[in-house]
Each structure stands twice: as structure tokens, then as C-alpha cells.
Structure 1
Amino acid sequence: MRNRNILALTLATAATLAAAASTALPAAAATAAQPANSRTAGGHCPQLSKKLTWYGDNRAKLQRMIDERGRCSNPHLGHGEKRPVAAFDWDNTITKNDVTDATIAWSLRHDKILRPKTWKSTSKWMTDEADRALTKACGTSVPVGKPLPTSTNTACADEIFEVREDGKTMSGAAAFAGEWDHRHTVPQYAWVPQLFAGHTVRELETYAAKARKEALAAPIGSTQTVGTHEIPGYVRYYDQQRDLIRTLKKAGFDVYIVSAGSEPVAEVWAAGKGGVGIDRKHTIAIRSVLDRKGRITTWNQGCGDVPVNKGEAIPYIDGKRCWINQEIYGVKGKSAWDKQDWRHRIALGGGDADTDVTFVGDATGAHLVLNRNKSEFMCRAYDNADGRWVVNPMFIEPLPQKSGTYPCSTTAYNEHDGSKGPVLREDGSVVPDQQDSVY
């Protein structure tokens, strides 16, 4: 079986990817805390396409970062110095719409979800109410480990998708309860690969590939029905992001995907024909543990000081920082959760939601934000503390301007215990409420 990033059940800790880390060179506006060996761009860096539309002067801002950090400004890259790193979220950052939802929708419409022994066994946080709702809707007549008829059983498809989408049952009861670090995981995200327990990685890749083909062929704006849920029926790669990734790679950057989705699904979309040319080694997402027969289990690979687990440490908010530090920079143990020094952070980060705010904020050269009106993320972006935040509307079907202001000074920050608080700068000052101005 080919080498993969998903570990066997007998392994207790993650195998670290090759440390293709970056010592991304300081920008022209480097602070005293950054390295002092700033170089001036040589003017011959690969250029972003001028045929593709960016908001305002965003293309120029990103080009300036490429000029500062690429081979053009550092002739030693590739000769002993580590390459600069760019890291991107996937869903609604590289593509319009969610490829995980597309894969789940396809799987539900084609009877690919296997009946678990009990629904409660699929997640350590699943409530009794959710267990009862799923059991009632999906029944017990199908043998354990066999496909549920979700293509015809609307109630079963509805309950599964509602738990995945909103963390609730169709009656509105909480599907998950208990304690978890709300900046390290969210149960309904962790539940996605757990939902595919019993399948091999190859089977899940096949489902993702078929869903991809279907979603790329569907017209922009189209919808599909899953149970009684109406969701987007199409997915598109953003041409601007494809061009940005291609230009970064030509300029000498190592480019990674860091997603809170299931890793086999992200790999299919990142490396697939017509995609963005990012291989498996450079794709980081939720990594399921396999059993001895190579089948996906409800266990996940861990990060930092969190060993193999049931979903406690996925690439989510601070978890994305942990996975970047561990897999790209080789940081071990508890320190992987901490913000690293300037030379051990990515040069460019790109995302669209609060789940991306930490790793995008860690970037030293540019923080690219696609505006989906997510409060904590947009508070950081509009506050623009280091002058390197680049805010762009979604390239396809952008959202209208948010009414009112983002509640940065009161309730925009996602606390570890699940409560809400003010967004603070590094010096402890409160970010004032922000108006939505890029839409």
C-alpha cells in the first residue's frame, strides 16, 4: 500500500512530514524583532496574472510579498536556505463552496454511509438525544457495517446532514455536549471522517472524486437536495487562487493546504487534474487512524501534546497553528500550540473563516482574507495591526456588506471554553468594533 499520512491504529504518535520549513525573508517594513538581513526585490519575480480581477490594490500587495520573499530577492534559496512557506485553508478559500459537504451529499445520495454499531460510538461528545434521533431515523434493520439506504430514507439523510451542518438534530436538540477546547476542535467537523469509519481510504477518495466531477460540472448558482436540505450543488476553483499558488511555487515557495476537512477528500481536490497542483505531502487535514485492515476508524492522529484521540486536536483555529508547527516546522510537544519565532512562521496565510484566524495571523508577509463575514477573522483583518492584511470579497457570488459592525470589542473572540469575548491585540488592547468595508 502506498505511503500515506494516515497512520495505522497501532501507532501512538504522528509521523512528521519532511520539514520543508521556511525562513521567509523579512519584508521591507520588518520590525526590530525580525531578522535584519532584509533584501530589496530584484524585479524579476514571477508575476501574478493581470487578466484576473482582484479587489483594489490586492494584487499589488500580494506581488510585493512575493517579490520580498521569493527567489528574486534571495539567491540563496535552494542552496542551503529553507524555502518560504505559504499555507491556505481549502473550503471557500481555494474553492467556492465546501468540498466536504459535496462529498457527504454525494455519499448520502449513493448509500455510502455504513451503519455504526451505535451512533454514540461515532463521537465521544454525541448526546443521547442525537443517538436516539439517528437510530430512529436510520433504523436498525440494516446490519452493522452495511450501507444505510440514505438515498431513499429522507429522515436518515436529514438527521446525518443536520448533525454535520449545525451540530443539532432535526428537532433542534444539541447533537454534541461535554467539554472540549473550542479553539482546538469542533465535534461536527471531527465527526465527518468518523462518519466514514469502516471504509478504506481508497473508497473515500473515490467518493470524493465522483463528488468533485459532479460539482464542477454543475452550473454556478445551482443547488442540490440532501434529505430535505437544500445546499449548493456546485463547486469552483477560484482562478485567482490557482494563479496565486502557481506564482508562489514558481517564486520558490513551499505551498501547503491546511484544512479542517477529512484529509483524503482534501487531497483529491488539491492534487486532482485541473486542481491547484498541491500533492499529498503538502496537504494537511484531519488524519484518521486506520485499523489493521486499512479501514478508517473513529480515531484521529494527534498534534502537539495530544496523542491519538477521538477528535480533540483537529486543524481548527489554534489547531491549524499546531499542525503547521508540527508538520512543516517540526515543532514537538506542547510548544506546537504556541506562536513561533519569526523564522519559524509562514510567509503567507490565506483563509475565509474564524477557523483560519490563528494561522493566517501568524504569517509574516501577508494575511489573505476572503470576506465571509466571520466576526473574529474580520476584526483582525480590518484592524490591520501590522499593515499586511489583504481583504478580498469572494471571487464568485460575494456576500453583500454586513449590516452594523463586527462586535470586536465585546463578543467576536471565540474563547477556549466556548464563550465569547473581546478581540485583543498582542499588547492586550481591545480591537474596536469594525465596519465591513470590502464586499
Structure 2
Amino acid sequence: MRRLLAWTLVTAAALAAAPTTTPARPATPNCPRLTASWYGDNRARLQRVIDERGSCSGRPGRRPVAVFDWDNTVTKNDVTDITLAWTLRHDKILRPARWTETSEWLTGAADRALTGACGTAVPVGAPLPTSTTPRCTDEIVRIRDTGATMSGAPAFAGRWNHRRTVPQYAWVPQLLTGRTPAQLASYARAARREALAAPIGATQRVGTHTVPAYVRYYDQQRDLIRTLRRAGFDVYIVSAGSAPVTEVWSRGVGVDPAHTIAIRSLLDRHGRLTPWTTGCGATPATRGGTIPYIDGKRCWINQRIYGVRGAAAWQRQDGRHRPAIAAGDADTDVTFVGDATGAHLVVNRNKSELMCRAYDDADGRWLVNPMFIDPLPHRPAPYPCSTTAYNAPDGARTPLLRADGSLVPDRADTVY
């Protein structure tokens, strides 16, 4: 009897000392599950967020949101560049009266280089023969790729907010001024067919440049997006590419145009693209001054998804008005990926500001994954987080700080 009493007292004491938190409810067999292979424990960590936030969680209220960058996050290679290459090979760019009309920051040196290379024989508004004029094509490709002319002169100059736009990104839809969104979408579809049919690793000649000729949807991201949608998430794409192009590609993962956020050009009275782009967060339409780029991606997410208006759209919102999962691969994605409340998914392309945030892992929710196709090798030098990782609004590269103002130390590259 005394033994039974002693056992009862010990058991009671152990129960009293045990944590009182409710154990996590295991996912039911019918809950949507990820099936593709991921690096390390990334699949398990993503699945945990899906189970905790999705339809199997039993949580009432608004559907959770997941937001993905597009180029090199959902696909391998850049679909805007693939489409631009196709338009250049098929003479789809119309000659502007002056090249400076395409961008308010285009320099005189770039205007002279483009005019000299592309000529003036073609009437204004007629297609430039870029398929047979490699000098013209080279100037366009080089300016888009590097922001400089073939001779190395700066192609863009002036003042812009470097966390809201980059002129050479905005320049691609501006080059298609005079075309309709339907025409641009048709170019994107043609480029998509070629790029998906080309073997992995294939290249093409555009002018004298050698550029990628293939694109692939990442199987892991397709599986993640499909699983999120089945689990009741609203899935969005946010891209610094042109809307008609991105919409063509996003349909391939089941995301419709209403859930695709990208650079949206204003149209003239004939329904043709102009160099002007829509504004966000109380900023008016500009010639590319505000696009979904770094802080601009946050603004468009807040405005389009959560209905935040005015200057507040540029600010981080409360947890109920932020994505549960956000994914990106470059510094252009760092703000909105950092806003996620459940998982910050990063595809490692060695971009300093994003990788510093990811490896610093301030809230323990950052997931780093190597590129799913042809991953980059190990970066031997640490990321310069403490000195030049931050992209300042004036274009300077400065030290990266945490939310509390402390300095992010340099971080080693460990996932590749």
C-alpha cells in the first residue's frame, strides 16, 4: 500500500511539473503534403507552416497568403530576358522618335549609341531590323544587362530611389512602347514555347551576345505552390518583369493574372503600351520611377492584396496583413521576403543583402535552398553584411542593420 501511495505521489508531482501547453495537432492524412525533394529540412519546415496556417489548422478567418518572386525563384532563368531576346530576333521593337523618350534617365551617351547603332532609316513607329542589325541588338542587350553601352558609358543617370526602381528593369516594357498587351503576351508565349523545348544549358546568339535559350519551372516550387493552393492559401506572384509577360508564365503554375503583380504600363487611347507605369502608395504614374522592386514589392503587396492605401503601403504591416510564406532569390526580394510571418524562403544566388538577412536568421524562420538546377558553387568570401550589403535609397552601399539597429556581421556562405 505504501508503495502504491509513493508511486501515486511521484506521478502527481511529475504531472504538476509538466508543461501545460497543448501539443501540436498532427496533420490529418488528408492534409495536402509536399512531395518534391528539398535541401536539408526545408520541406519539413515549409510543411509545418502549411499545416499551422492552412485549411488543416482549423483556424478561422481570412485565407493565408503566400507570395513568390518569379524569375530564378519559380523558374530557372529570366523570362523577361527570354522574351526580350525573342522580340529582338523577330524585329518587334518599334523605332522611337528619340531614345530618351523611352526612359527619363537614359543618358545622352546611350541615346547617341542607340541612334548610331540602330540608325534612322526606319520610319518612327516602324519595326527596327534588330534580327539583321547586330550593332543595334548589342546595344539594347548590353544596356538591359549592365546599365551601360557597348563602349562602357553609363546608360542611365540622374536621381531615383534605388529601393523603388532600377531603370534598366523598367526599360524592357518601355522598349515595347506602341505594342499592345495582347501582342506582348503573344511574344511571351512564343518565347515560352521555345525556351521550354530547348535543352537545359542551351544558349542562343542575340546580336553578338550569347544568352540563355532555356527556361524551366522548378519542380519543387510547382509542388509548393500546388500544395499551398490545396491547403487554402491565396498564392500570388510579384515580379519586376512586365505584367503581360509574367502573366503568360504564371499560368503555368496555376496562378491567374489577378494574382500576378508586375510592372503595369499605362496604355494610350488606342490600347497601346506607353513608357509610363502605374504608381503605388500615393505615388503617381511615372516613367518607371516606381516598380515592384525591393521596397516597391512590399508596396504592391500591401496595396493589391491587403488594400492598404496611401503612404502606409510602403510600411511593414501588422502580422494579419503580411504573407505567411514569401520566396525570392535576389536583393530585389529582400523586403517582402523579410515581411513573411511563417517562412522566408531564399534561393541562393549569392545576392548580398538577401543572403545576409537569410544567414543572420534573426527570427529563426529563414530557409536557404541552393538553386534547384545548376546551383552556384560555394562563395569563399563572407558576405559583406557589416560594410556594403545594404542597397540605400540614394544608390550607396552601406552596412546592413537589424530591426533593433544592431549591425549584421559578415556571414559565411554555407548552403550551396
- TM superposition score normalised by structure 1: 0.89
- The match for 1:203 is 183
1:270 lines up with 2:254 in the alignment: no
Tell me, in whole angstroms, the C-alpha distance in 1 between the residues paired with 2:290 and 2:51: 35
1:46 lines up with 2:35 in the alignment: no
Partner SS for 1:206? helix
The code of the aligned residue for 1:70 comes to G
The code of the aligned residue for 1:47 comes to R
Partner SS for 1:434? coil
- The match for 1:387 is 364
- The match for 1:64 is 48
Unaligned 5+ residue runs, structure 1? 1-37
- The match for 1:261 is 241
Deviation (angstroms), 1:374: 0.2
- The match for 1:74 is 58
Runs of 4+ in 1 over 3 A off after TM superposition: 38-42
Partner SS for 2:137? helix
- The match for 2:279 is 302
CA 1:303 to 1:39, structure 2 compared with 1: closer, same or farther past 3 Å? farther
- For residues 55-89 of structure 1, what are the alpha-carbon distances to aligned partners after superposition, in whole Å with 9 as ceiling and x for unaligned? 0010001001101100111253xxxx211000000
Q: Residue 86 of structure 2 contacts residue 191 of structure 2 at CA under 8 Å; is this kept in 1?
A: yes
Tell me, in whole angstroms, the C-alpha distance in 2 between the residues paired with 1:295 and 1:39: 58
1:236 lines up with 2:220 in the alignment: no
Q: Residue 85 of structure 1 contacts residue 348 of structure 1 at CA under 8 Å; is this kept in 2?
A: yes
The code of the aligned residue for 1:46 comes to P
- For residues 236-290 of structure 1, what are the alpha-carbon distances to aligned partners after superposition, in whole Å with 9 as ceiling and x for unaligned? 000000000000000000000000000000000011xxx1000000000000000
1:180 lines up with 2:157 in the alignment: no
The code of the aligned residue for 2:319 comes to W
How many residues are aligned here? Answer: 394
Matches within 5 A, 1:155-174: 155-174=135-154
Q: Residue 345 of structure 2 contacts residue 368 of structure 2 at CA under 8 Å; is this kept in 1?
A: yes
Q: Residue 203 of structure 2 contacts residue 213 of structure 2 at CA under 8 Å; is this kept in 1?
A: yes
Matches within 5 A, 1:114-133: 114-133=94-113
The code of the aligned residue for 2:98 comes to T
Q: Residue 41 of structure 1 contacts residue 72 of structure 1 at CA under 8 Å; is this kept in 2?
A: no
More relative contact order in 1 or in 2 (CA 8 Å, sep 6+)?
A: 1
Deviation (angstroms), 1:362: 0.2
Which has the larger Rg? 2
The code of the aligned residue for 1:331 comes to V
- The match for 2:340 is 363
* CA RMSD across the alignment: 1.2
Unaligned 5+ residue runs, structure 2? 1-21
Partner SS for 2:293? coil
- The match for 2:258 is 281
Q: Residue 53 of structure 2 contacts residue 59 of structure 2 at CA under 8 Å; is this kept in 1?
A: no
Q: Residue 39 of structure 1 contacts residue 74 of structure 1 at CA under 8 Å; is this kept in 2?
A: no
- The match for 2:394 is 417
Partner SS for 2:274? strand
The code of the aligned residue for 1:48 comes to L
CA 1:397 to 1:386, structure 2 compared with 1: closer, same or farther past 3 Å? same
Counting aligned pairs with the same residue, the percent is 70
Tell me, in whole angstroms, the C-alpha distance in 2 between the residues paired with 1:54 and 1:89: 18
Q: Which structure carries more helix by proportion?
A: 2
Tell me, in whole angstroms, the C-alpha distance in 1 between the residues paired with 2:193 and 2:23: 45
Task: Identify the match of residue 194 of structure 1 among 174, 181, 193.
Answer: 174
Q: Residue 245 of structure 1 contacts residue 276 of structure 1 at CA under 8 Å; is this kept in 2?
A: yes
The code of the aligned residue for 2:53 comes to R
Deviation (angstroms), 1:41: 4.3
The code of the aligned residue for 1:266 comes to T
